[in-house]
Every structure is written in structure tokens, then in C-alpha cells.
Amino acid sequence: MSKHLFANIVTPTAIAANNRGEGDGSTLATLQKITRGNDQYTTVSADAIRWGYREYLQHHFADQEVNRTFNPDLDKYDIKDEKHSAEKFIDDDLFGYMDAKKDKDNKNATEKRRGALEVSRAISLDPYWGDIAFGSKGGEKGSTSIHNTEMHNTAYQYAIALTPEHLKKPDRATAFLEALVGVRHVGGNHSRFLYEFRPESIVFRITEDPSPWIMGCFKRVGEDVGCPELVRLLEAGDINPQELIIGGKIAKTPYGETLKNLGASVFDGVKAAKDAAKAQLKAAGIIA
């Protein structure tokens, strides 16, 4: 059976703010939101997170190994090979591609590959209470002079899923793990503010079970972050604790101690947990 790599990540708590309007006077680009119960939460799209991973790969791999690169001077993407190749390019392998086109007989000749990597939306741990700043640009006034900036002091939680055997080159799972803990920031509607999107705490699960079971396991507990649902799942026997590798700030909480006592591998550092996940994939013969 295939081995699957799942991870649930929570970022540090910081101020998320969409500053796009400060440059062009636009009031249209705001923090994206969803409603849960009676509260609103801010959210970051999976595409925006993938953008951060692409940026990491662009800066850490040879130019010929990455197909889609971003040119900040021109504010646009460049694609080396529009035919794409999951064998040749790591980003085509991880994220997939689609080249929509017709053949000479006007029949569908679309070439596409579903990405091996799946990424969930990131959801804030804290409700959004509508913090906002208004401003106006100097000089001659016009219809776009007034702008606003929405702000949210929160942490974000999201999950990923990857089956390394679905990659053309399974060893690329190693590169993705480095990107996971080294992502600088995210793109999309959030491209003009710096928010530290790296993991503050992370839960890895390497398993033959096709269902993650760990998605959304972090929650705000007072001023800190806990994982009571993850503890419950281990105590109920729904997750084998030997499949779990946990790292980061959560290790120094009572939840970290409980998870360790239940048999999970718990590390003080996120990078130490990442290295342990690599070692487990290597021991299973999935990566070299």
C-alpha cells in the first residue's frame, strides 16, 4: 500500500493586513473571510500558499529545474516550457498543470496533470472583529483617493497531503518538506504584506491510511494554541501514535507532554520534526 504524508500547520500569531489599497487607492481587495457559526474568520487561499512554495523552489533550485518563475521587476510569471513536464520540472510534478487547447480538427487537446500536492485553505484561529484603518492619498483628489486596510491579529491553520509515490521523482518530497518549513510569505490577495507563514507548530502523519485525520487539530486555548482533538483521537485509537511526528511550540505545552506520553514523537523544533519525517520516509524506502 502507498504511504501518505499529511501535515497540519499553525503559523505564529501576527498581524495580517491587506495593504494593496495603499498603493492604488483600491477599496476592492480585502482580507478574505468565511463564516463559522456566528463569527467571521479570515482565510488565505490554497493558491496563495502554493505561491509561497513556488517562490521557495524558484530561489532554491537551479533555473532549469523550475518551469514557472516569477519576475518581480515585470510583475509577471515566465513559463519555460508551455508543454510542461512533470519529469523535468519539480513544480510541474508537485503542483500539476493544464494547457487548454484545441487540435487542428477543433477537438479537445488539453494536456493536464493533477498535482501530487494538495493544500487546504488556511483559516484564522481567531474570529475577525472588523479591525480596519482608513486613509487617503495626497495630492489631487479623485474617486479612488480614499482607501482602507483590514487588519487581523491571528494565527492561521492549514493542512497538506502528499503521496510521494505519485511524484515522477519521489525524492522531490524531500524538497517539499524544506519548502514547508521555509516558506516566507504567501501571495494572492495577500501579496503586499509580510506575514510569517512558516510553522510555529506542526503535526506530521506518515501512514497507509488514506484519510488525514489531523486536519484542523489546532485551536486557540486561552492565549496559547492547543490540540485537544488530536489528543482525543489518539486516546480513542483512531490514530496510531507511532505515525505522528510533532514539532514546535506545542511541544512545551501540556498537550505536547500528553502526546509524548501517548507514544507520539515530539520535538521542540519544527525543523527537527521535519528531519524526523524525512528519516521515516527514507526508512520506508520511499525516498533515497
Residue 145 has pLDDT above 50, yes or no: yes
Question: Could you tell me the maximum CA-CA distance found in the chain, to the nearest angstrom?
Answer: 66
Q: Which distant-in-sequence residues (6+ apart) come within 8 Å of 117 by Cβ?
A: 50, 53, 94, 95, 160, 161, 162, 176
pLDDT tens digits, one per residue of 35-74 = 999 999 999 999 989 999 999 999 999 989 999 998 888 8
pLDDT category at 210 given cuts 50, 70, 90 is very high
pLDDT category at 184 given cuts 50, 70, 90 is confident
Give one word for 78, left, alpha or beta, with left for phi > 0 and alpha for psi -120 to 50: beta
Average pLDDT estimate for 160-171: 97
pLDDT tens digits, one per residue of 239-267 = 999 999 999 999 999 999 999 999 999 99
Pairwise CA distance, residues 251 & 226, whole Å: 10
Task: Give me the chain's average pLDDT, please.
Answer: 89
Model pLDDT, residue 197: 92
* Whole-prediction pTM: 0.90
Cα within 13 Å of Cα(72), Cβ side? 6
pLDDT tens digits, one per residue of 102-130 = 566 666 666 788 999 999 999 999 999 98
Question: Can you give 61-92 as a three-state secondary structure string?
Answer: CCHHHCCEEEECCCCEEEECCCCCCCCCCHHH
pLDDT category at 142 given cuts 50, 70, 90 is low
Model pLDDT, residue 143: 64
Model pLDDT, residue 22: 44
pLDDT category at 227 given cuts 50, 70, 90 is very high
pLDDT category at 25 given cuts 50, 70, 90 is very low
Pairwise CA distance, residues 173 & 281, whole Å: 9
Point out which residues pair with 119 in neighbouring strands. Answer: 160
